[in-house]
Structure 1
């Protein structure tokens, strides 16, 4: 592997990329964008680079249809193909969602879709492979997420279904069985698709094994029983990740810690004789193993904190990551894909003060670059909200990190505020572009997104601080942020609204119920408002011994559920309330919103419920997001005007 071209790569990439993206103006030079600009699906869903680094595939929409574009980097030509549901219809499958694209070979693009069926709690995958020379699709059921391998002098697709590990040749359309085990679970393969390790699980006895290649056969190097451990087998069993650092060992994750939030990740290396290393030292939060694109070996860790951070152990890949960040100073940079035949050719995703997300091709060997496209091409740079991290201390002395978005073209002084708590609640916000926060900021509001206690990304001790604190300290963590901004003169404490979805919807209604002096109005989106009803339904649906039921029991930690339920305390609410909920929500029942509405109406309180027809919990339909956003803006302009 040759070193990067130090003379041309960095300088050319920096000047070209920044020049292409432009700079925001100090004052508005364009009209304020319509809310539909933010509610639309991102213009680019996914993008990938061919193994030889000569072509780029882009999945986008054209006239409302999913379209696959193929760009030839050598001459700038492009072709596009409509992505259909022919496979789903032929196999009598339900509606599918596109999950990813990748190059199956230098002449074939794979479109990976998934679906759920019946009462299944996991996803099945189906893959459509486009032959660029013939212009035809070949489709097959891949069971799990497929990957590309190289067999001799050609590329094939590796996939596992029904305990069978197989390879699919995109050129011939033929599949070859590689390995079979009745209880097969995870597989680790070489770059050529040869299995070197696999795990098996007897789902009746919950006996688990890890097997590694031993000559022409297999040797069991680990056994364990995971019956009802942590009340959830799927979360308890070890998972195989990839080849080890030298190519003959493997990397696995053992869930011996209380939670993946811990600094000790449980990621270890297992030798062919079964010897396990000490857990790898983790240098941040939310660690994920990195895999070398050529060798399929362990190559370091990435960390999901304020933004993704790379810590490659491979010197060449570390150099790529370093130069990618140097090429875009003061921007958030993510490596999307590398050309495995020449990893100097990469696709970068970039966010920053002058872009809400854009994709670039960069050749760090020659300094060549090309802008692939932006996520929100209709959003002018001067209407992208400034988003920064801020910290404050709660009344009981806990440090909280939060993200503050400021309205474009307005002085950061005496602003109206919207508190926007995330869902989960064991989740987190970061510095990345947030369509809802930015849309509201363009209406003149400051937006505060706190990672309150119970949020992920700060260690399991921080998560546990949220146990038993629904409607209590998890709530005052939000209002302490309001007081922090008020003390700095950034916001007007008399003009504060609270808006959230899922758990954030609960927090919005709990805010006006339990801290009525802080908020002028509240908007709850697909929220949980009646906790006794939630727990009763969970017990009926999944059982009191299920992981989900026990998880909520742990998080609620013996709380008086009636006392912390907004629907049971509607008489305390004096502020206007807007509720929005999808009729097809399978995560939070629509009845949660009707219960909240009925309670407020019975108490004679102002409330409006908007029914989002055909919408799921994740607001996946852009027409629904548009309707939601317009309703929220109209409500805010009436009850908490900017």
Structure 2
């Protein structure tokens, strides 16, 4: 087995040019995007597919011949409002890729996805997403997804979802005889389609067994005014049956689910795997699909949610589960893979995390991801037959792990005596005392931080800051009681935990008095801005990237979309909407603020930052605003990220007197 270094060298060449100044050079090193997004292996195990970043915001998919290392680019996206999201092997010589495009309408941004099929040499590209008929009522934004790489008949077809929107008949009469989400078996060469599941209104998900049989279907109820409701109905099929039987319901209550939600079907055991509540925390269960609905607790933890299901191979078979305490831990159902994971973890230097990413058809070759807190990670190929391990590509080859900062799990007391888990990153080589410091709450708010490499805190650590990432109450991963009502409705608790993290940094001697700032992205940006409202001057400077700033505006921005009632319930009604909106309380903010946003952001509208900037300026406050044209929520562009890092560091240093 041979993997050429050619791809590694090509990746390094694609990095943005490095400016001459030392501080800007550091910003360019960390502002450069991950050089590899995805690696997949062909069914015969002879070739790899790598999706990589190219200079600016573009992406390229390339096919690598394992035996020679020869590399051929086959598909390129320009980036910005056009993104290559995902590619996979349909056959040994045929690929399936998903691309997305964002269009700006009169008032809203509209995202479209489409699936393409192409040969492994880049030729014969065709649209795999079904073409809309000329009389179709409306246009589907959703291009479909693969639910099974097998068709159940031993052919070359895949099972993929298809959206039907109904058609006009004579005059203006609308036929609803075929509308909703269905499943087709599609030949990726000829594009011939065979109906597997007829389109049904309200269907949001189908789950196949990995062998070409759809076993479960999820439908979403509607509210009286036609929006998506918070209740999902789940149906299933017994083996060999075409009839749908009722399985249960799942309710999304302001961001926290209630009920069993299936995520995979095991055809050998004839069970569905899914997650449900167990003693206030999420656990993994199986439920039999034989009609008896026998429920079995598979994995639980007394401190955190069990939230990961590990799957592998062409049939996406379930191999284990995972959860995160101080680090992410795995429990394997497959003893062979579990033993291999343990052996590789011990053999590789630095005690890294190891994840199985993909396998060929007979699982004799495995693509793995390996990384740690000081290693941005990379992809490896393991051959079971020869027991050889070869490096494929590194995610960030320009960074030296020896110069990166260790990440440590810590906890601190909140004002009401609760232990708040967090991660602390100290500058490499520092004594960890009297440092300038940053509190960096995560996005979401339905999310949490985990141990590992993170380019944003690592950049600031390289610049000399201690960085604290709190998993404040309102975070996911710690159970329903920790989640509260969510980070918006329970913002006083969440922001209080963030503020207490800043005070702990000073009281513990890690941060020098008067030298703590707040930096956050998305909800994290909201949190540091709201901290500036609730405890003015605690943070001496605030950097908010793509932040929510006005909860009522967030609600109204979803009014023209199907999820409006869900967003409405998530935000809630009451006094907290006004008191919890930084843009409505700018007079209380007393420190310099930097706002950063992309104007093609579909997660958090750019209007959130524009409104905040306007009101800060109107109140005579110090504010800087960076708006990047054509970029979305992730600011997935080398130049934009580099400037954001360099400019924010400059603002922080000035505000903290560094």
> Which residue of 2 is the match for residue 614 of structure 1?
630
Indicate conservation of the 8 Å contact 2:149/2:314, yes or no: no
**Aligned Cα RMSD in Å?**
3.9
> Which residue of 2 is the match for residue 75 of structure 1?
68
- Alignment of 1:551 with 2:552, yes or no, is no
> Which residue of 2 is the match for residue 242 of structure 1?
264
2:36 to 26, 44, 48: 44
Deviation at 1:453, TM superposition (A): 1.1
Q: Distance in 1 between matches of 2:528 and 2:543?
A: 6
Q: Distance in 1 between matches of 2:92 and 2:654?
A: 56
1:433 to 453, 462, 466: 453
Indicate conservation of the 8 Å contact 1:46/1:59, yes or no: yes
The structure-2 alpha-carbon separation of the partners of 1:271 and 1:417, relative to structure 1 and needing over 3 Å to count, comes to: same
> Which residue of 2 is the match for residue 424 of structure 1?
444
1:581 to 590, 597, 601: 597
> Which residue of 2 is the match for residue 15 of structure 1?
none
Structure-2-length-normalised TM-score: 0.79
> Which residue of 2 is the match for residue 625 of structure 1?
641
How do 1:585-596 and structure 2 match up within 5 A?
Answer: 585-596=601-612
**SS at 2:650's partner residue?**
helix
> Which residue of 1 is the match for residue 118 of structure 2?
130
Q: Distance in 2 between matches of 1:543 and 1:74?
A: 49
How do 1:391-402 and structure 2 match up within 5 A?
Answer: 391-402=411-422
> Which residue of 1 is the match for residue 98 of structure 2?
112
> Which residue of 1 is the match for residue 243 of structure 2?
219
Deviation at 1:235, TM superposition (A): 7.0
**SS at 2:597's partner residue?**
strand
Deviation at 1:101, TM superposition (A): 2.0
> Which residue of 1 is the match for residue 323 of structure 2?
303
Indicate conservation of the 8 Å contact 1:413/1:490, yes or no: yes
Q: Distance in 2 between matches of 1:282 and 1:158?
A: 33
Q: Distance in 2 between matches of 1:241 and 1:583?
A: 34
2:527 to 507, 525, 529: 507
Structure-1-length-normalised TM-score: 0.81
Indicate conservation of the 8 Å contact 1:261/1:460, yes or no: no
Indicate conservation of the 8 Å contact 1:407/1:445, yes or no: yes
Q: Deviations over 1:239-289 (max 9, x none)?
A: 543333634x2305476x5xx995244743233225332454424524233
**SS at 2:286's partner residue?**
strand
- Alignment of 1:446 with 2:478, yes or no, is no
> Which residue of 1 is the match for residue 10 of structure 2?
none
> Which residue of 1 is the match for residue 272 of structure 2?
251
The structure-2 alpha-carbon separation of the partners of 1:172 and 1:386, relative to structure 1 and needing over 3 Å to count, comes to: same
How do 1:129-168 and structure 2 match up within 5 A?
Answer: 129-132=117-120, 135-141=123-129, 143-146=143-146, 147-149=148-150, 155-162=156-163, 163-168=181-186
Deviation at 1:37, TM superposition (A): 2.2
The structure-2 alpha-carbon separation of the partners of 1:315 and 1:150, relative to structure 1 and needing over 3 Å to count, comes to: farther
Q: Distance in 1 between matches of 2:563 and 2:362?
A: 53
> Which residue of 2 is the match for residue 16 of structure 1?
none
Deviation at 1:131, TM superposition (A): 1.8
- Alignment of 1:345 with 2:346, yes or no, is no
Q: Distance in 2 between matches of 1:539 and 1:99?
A: 24
Q: Distance in 1 between matches of 2:267 and 2:481?
A: 32
1:58 to 43, 46, 50: 50
- Alignment of 1:360 with 2:385, yes or no, is no
Deviation at 1:632, TM superposition (A): 0.8
> Which residue of 2 is the match for residue 635 of structure 1?
651
1:210 to 235, 245, 269: 235
Q: Distance in 2 between matches of 1:125 and 1:532?
A: 29
The structure-2 alpha-carbon separation of the partners of 1:297 and 1:636, relative to structure 1 and needing over 3 Å to count, comes to: closer
The structure-2 alpha-carbon separation of the partners of 1:121 and 1:187, relative to structure 1 and needing over 3 Å to count, comes to: farther
Q: Deviations over 1:130-172 (max 9, x none)?
A: 3236844333117432142276666542212134433333455
Q: Distance in 1 between matches of 2:144 and 2:563?
A: 30
Indicate conservation of the 8 Å contact 1:250/1:269, yes or no: yes
**SS at 2:416's partner residue?**
coil
Q: Distance in 2 between matches of 1:134 and 1:478?
A: 49
Q: Distance in 1 between matches of 2:61 and 2:630?
A: 27
Deviation at 1:103, TM superposition (A): 1.6
Deviation at 1:389, TM superposition (A): 1.4
Q: Distance in 2 between matches of 1:467 and 1:281?
A: 27
Deviation at 1:547, TM superposition (A): 1.5
Deviation at 1:199, TM superposition (A): 5.3
Q: Distance in 2 between matches of 1:504 and 1:550?
A: 21
- Higher mean alpha-carbon deviation, 340-349 vs 542-551, is at 542-551
Unaligned runs of 5+ in 1: 1-29, 86-93
Unaligned runs of 5+ in 2: 1-20, 131-142, 164-180, 225-230
- Higher mean alpha-carbon deviation, 465-474 vs 613-622, is at 465-474
